[in-house]
Structure 1
Amino acid sequence: MLRKNPSGDMPRVSETAFIDPTAIICGKVIIEDNVFIGPYAVIRADEVNEQGEMEAIHIKRDTNIQDGVVIHSKAGAAVTIGERS
């Protein structure tokens, strides 16, 4: 499920990515080509820093996020998962 965060950011997902219907992707998230997001995974970019800014969670191409993984960007910090991870 794709959701906006409280700031109104919506995830950007490549058409070639697979996101299991039970996964939750929220906010300023970028998912590139051929990424697999498994069942019950949660990826949330929904918190701002003290200045009210937020960096993206960026999952690069050909990456596999397994079942039940949680990636949460705290206090607006950037998170990058590299290619083929």
Structure 2
Amino acid sequence: MAPAYAFDDCVPVVHEDAFVHPDSVLIGDVRIGAGCYIGPCASLRADFGRITIEAGANIQDGCVVH
């Protein structure tokens, strides 16, 4: 599992069927749906609103979502 950090008491939530590479980073109010792929060095930082990655989505290596 990737490093997951709380921000303002919001903690990332990852569906048990998702793959999140251990070299990616999830921060704050992030929701990862079933069957998702989060590649290495991806950064999902939800410090000013929720990020929802819906079922089956694919976030490739090195992408930044903010």
**Per the shorter chain, which TM-score range?**
over 0.9
Q: What's 2:53 paired with?
A: 59
Q: Which segments of 5 or more consecutive residues in structure 2 lack a partner in the other structure?
A: none
How high is the TM-score relative to the length of structure 1? Answer: 0.72
* Whole-Å separation in 1 of the counterparts to 2:33 and 2:21: 15
* Whole-Å separation in 1 of the counterparts to 2:10 and 2:38: 19
Give per-residue Cα distances to partners, 1:6-65, cap 9 Å, x unaligned: x11001110000000000000001110000000000000013xxxxxxx31000001110
Runs of 4+ in 1 over 4 A off after TM superposition: none
How high is the TM-score relative to the length of structure 2? Answer: 0.92
Q: What's 1:70 paired with?
A: 64
The SS at the match of 2:27 is strand
In terms of fraction of residues, the more strand-rich structure is 2
Relative contact order higher in (CA < 8 Å, ≥ 6 apart): 2
Q: CA deviation at 1:69?
A: 0.1
Superposition RMSD on alpha carbons, in Å?
0.7
Percent of aligned pairs sharing the same letter: 39
